[in-house]
Amino acid sequence: MKIHDIPGFPNPLRIRIALAEKGLGDQVEFVKVDLPAAENRQAAFLAKNPTGTVPVLELDDGLFIGECTAITSETCWAPRSAAMRGATSLPKVVPGASTWV
């Protein structure tokens, strides 16, 4: 799992806080996006998130999720986060289901 972000920006910070609360920080690779150099407006990044915003969650299966609420929801289903959702939670929904189309 990778998070494409820039440290210190508000929305990426929300994701970092949520991951820290869930004890998942060591399971995520953080990839710094160079916003001042407009890396988020280059074709390679836009292929991950057409809106060009950060953060972007890249799952191991190649799925990209580019909205904070959807990313936070997706991390609830990570293996070590059962304490955040309870041991008898509902089955996993389709990844990215809460992303606006």
pLDDT in tens, the chain (101 residues): 899 999 889 999 999 998 988 888 888 999 999 999 999 999 999 999 999 999 999 988 888 998 888 888 877 766 654 444 445 444 444 555 555 54
| pLDDT at residue 14, rounded to an integer | 92
Phi, psi of 73 (to 5 degrees): -65, -45
Q: Which residue has the tokens 């990778």?
A: 2
| pLDDT at residue 25, rounded to an integer | 84
| pLDDT at residue 61, rounded to an integer | 86
Domain 2-85 grouped into CATH 3.40.718.10: no
Measured CA to CA, the distance from residue 100 to residue 49 in angstroms comes to 12
Q: Where are the domains of the chain?
A: 2-85
Measured CA to CA, the distance from residue 21 to residue 18 in angstroms comes to 5
| pLDDT at residue 4, rounded to an integer | 96
Query: What is the number of other CB atoms lying within 10 angstroms of the CB of residue 65?
Result: 24
| pLDDT at residue 46, rounded to an integer | 95
